Structure 1
């Protein structure tokens, strides 16, 4: 890490670097005075961590950080509401494992009358997860080896923290007199990269790094422990047969088999809107900008319109769970409304980021089916509300009357930056967290709150299954089935028997004679690959081709 004031600590995992935070929150130090190094707390009792773990509640005196003879508590108001189970996993006891809002959680500055941790707040967007998937898929063997070593270091560091507790962890991993570089290095070993800290020069960022280390430790300690009796594909099959209230979380990865790339990986979308004069492409979906000039959104809206009457085998798998009376709810982050195309009932579906299913006038609230404004959107025109048309015309004809550009404009019911999540999410999530008996997360990186928090809020004994092209390292899924989503669910349904056949024209082709989809074990317990042998053979026989830019983008929005 360099010490230049012009250098930022940036995200290693590019999956969410610019999407969780719009405005840079670079910390400006209050003073140019050099900061003394951080000195580790002195452990009065070597058994203190064991006492904390066995008692199930924090010690009465929080761990402290000594700076210039003063102390700053790690035990702020947030951490004091946690307890640890016997495995050392922190669980929230103050909120009944509930999700209360759609905002990123803020780490309190509660310093208990001690030294404040600067004026700069710290929240979950200040720490980005280190994900080894992109590096591990690299053709460079050195990069692969480096990724494996990094993941091993993260695993061992987190394991020590969760099993030994904070005090022993700090004693083991920090020198007696710790500088900013030491704290930053420890944050990285825990699997996170800060991106909103000042340069390392003169130690003016020490307190900010202490707060970030606190947040990193808190997040690690909240990770659930994997179930000891749920780690094989047979366990997944048995649970699918017996489960009655399955909660399914879906993201943009479930639609890629339709030739629709997800928003994050599509360079075509960003390049198409680069001439709009925006500092950040995401400003296209900023509510304030929409009200100022709706033409910006509608100049590119045709690119993100969902296709008509199509759906993937994965969508039909969710419909199959519904038909069997097993689907508690599908929480989808997608806005394409393809779940409805597949026949999933609206009572069984929460569109966390809204959808194109309906459009609403931003002035009077008049609502129409989304397809009614598709013609204008395809023509890059602004659709106007028929109820407000006459009044808008009268106001426009008056020279002394200011008319907001968005007056009487119809807006698709997709959640823009600056908007709250749909009320249906908050109306149902806490009930569903209590009721579910199986979690299946499909085609999403689980990077964005509050949807990403669902897997951390369910009871610890509820099995969790991941179906995704790449592994997710910041969540402890009991079983990870890696591969194309359609391939994975087709493999599972084929194993379950004829009454689990997916009602989709591609299902029989995917399954073949029963030998096309192959299960491959890995070195990691509970992690499996699902291979499509026919697809692999076809790809191997084809010459390398340059992929064309897509003409259609399906957006999986992310929210602050």
Structure 2
């Protein structure tokens, strides 16, 4: 690893990590825009992730729920990158993860739920769009209904994820911006940084004086703002970055 990078990040005490789909691909979860990504292989699949289509068309909802029931994330386990961020927190470094992922793998790796902001929601709970009811998604999937109605009011159910056309939760986004602004080191890991407003957290961090390090296979719109850009394998390089922060060996 670049000595200048190691010198720059060693001893960082407040770290924010913006994580995207790329951090979970080593866990067997496909990304969206890569060569084997969900949108790349099935461009029409995006229709099922559009809020307007989801709410208006039962056929779209059936397609969505069928795909959701078989999603690889249900079987996935945290990989070395997830575990390294959790271990860095265990080492006493103030770590906050701002994730675009809905898989819950950061928490399963050992990070406390309060230290993970799920910008785009979570796949593990499902809410009714007509009443305040919420349910574990596994319970909804177990019902084996291809367009499951709310068990309480019969309304349309939607997993607690942000679909295209929906706004991010303003409180969560505001909290994320505060964390980005307070960080000394901002890691953008496995994100194409093409989805706003999450990607703009990089700008918030840099303008507040943080060192921005981007770890991603492909170029991003924010590469020019970064102090360092790494194209290395995420599962390999994130543990190295975390070890460099503490001056330790590999996790």
User: If the TM-score is normalised by the length of the shorter chain, which range does it land in?
Assistant: 0.7 to 0.9
Give 1:472's aligned residue: 220
Given candidates 322, 327, 348, the residue that maps to 2:94 is 327
Find the aligned partners of 1:233 and 1:268 in 2 and give their Cα distance: 30
Give 2:192's aligned residue: 445
1:236/1:326 CA distance change after superposition, 3 Å: farther
**CA offset digits 1:378-400 (Å, max 9, x no partner):** x5623332222xxx4xxxxxxxx
How far is the alpha carbon of 1:324 from its aligned partner?
Answer: 2.6
TM-score, normalised on structure 1? 0.40
Give 1:384's aligned residue: 149
Alignment of 1:131-530 (within 5 A): 233-265=2-34, 269=38, 280-292=44-56, 293=58, 294-304=61-71, 306-308=73-75, 310-376=77-143, 379=144, 381-388=146-153, 392=154, 407=155, 409-458=156-205, 459=207, 461-472=209-220, 474-475=222-223, 476-492=225-241, 501-502=250-251
Find the aligned partners of 1:256 and 1:305 in 2 and give their Cα distance: 10
Partner-residue secondary structure (3-state), 2:135 = strand
How far is the alpha carbon of 1:424 from its aligned partner?
Answer: 4.1
**CA offset digits 1:528-549 (Å, max 9, x no partner):** xxxxxxxxxxxxxxxxxxxxxx
**CA offset digits 1:28-77 (Å, max 9, x no partner):** xxxxxxxxxxxxxxxxxxxxxxxxxxxxxxxxxxxxxxxxxxxxxxxxxx
Find the aligned partners of 1:470 and 1:267 in 2 and give their Cα distance: 14
Find the aligned partners of 2:247 and 2:183 in 1 and give their Cα distance: 26
Give 1:94's aligned residue: none
Q: How many residues align?
A: 246
1:473/1:442 CA distance change after superposition, 3 Å: same
How far is the alpha carbon of 1:453 from its aligned partner?
Answer: 1.0
TM-score, normalised on structure 2? 0.84
**CA offset digits 1:224-258 (Å, max 9, x no partner):** xxxxxxxx833433454421211111111111212
The structure having more radius of gyration, on CA atoms, is: 1
Report which of the two has the higher share of helix: 2
Decide whether the 8 Å contact of 1:328 with 1:436 is kept in 2: no
Can you give the 5+ residue segments of structure 1 that lack an aligned partner in the other structure?
A: 1-231, 275-279, 393-406, 503-560
Decide whether the 8 Å contact of 1:327 with 1:348 is kept in 2: no
Find the aligned partners of 2:45 and 2:183 in 1 and give their Cα distance: 37
1:421/1:466 CA distance change after superposition, 3 Å: same
1:431/1:238 CA distance change after superposition, 3 Å: same
Partner-residue secondary structure (3-state), 1:300 = helix
What's the RMSD between the two structures over aligned residues? 2.8
1:423/1:239 CA distance change after superposition, 3 Å: same
Partner-residue secondary structure (3-state), 1:322 = helix
How far is the alpha carbon of 1:270 from its aligned partner?
Answer: 5.6
How far is the alpha carbon of 1:448 from its aligned partner?
Answer: 1.6
Decide whether the 8 Å contact of 2:193 with 2:221 is kept in 1: no
How far is the alpha carbon of 1:345 from its aligned partner?
Answer: 1.7
**CA offset digits 1:470-494 (Å, max 9, x no partner):** 3436432111222110111233456
Give 1:7's aligned residue: none
Find the aligned partners of 1:494 and 1:321 in 2 and give their Cα distance: 8
Find the aligned partners of 2:171 and 2:91 in 1 and give their Cα distance: 24
How far is the alpha carbon of 1:312 from its aligned partner?
Answer: 0.8
Find the aligned partners of 1:432 and 1:493 in 2 and give their Cα distance: 18
**CA offset digits 1:501-523 (Å, max 9, x no partner):** 43xxxxxxxxxxxxxxxxxxxxx
Find the aligned partners of 1:244 and 1:384 in 2 and give their Cα distance: 47
Find the aligned partners of 1:328 and 1:495 in 2 and give their Cα distance: 15
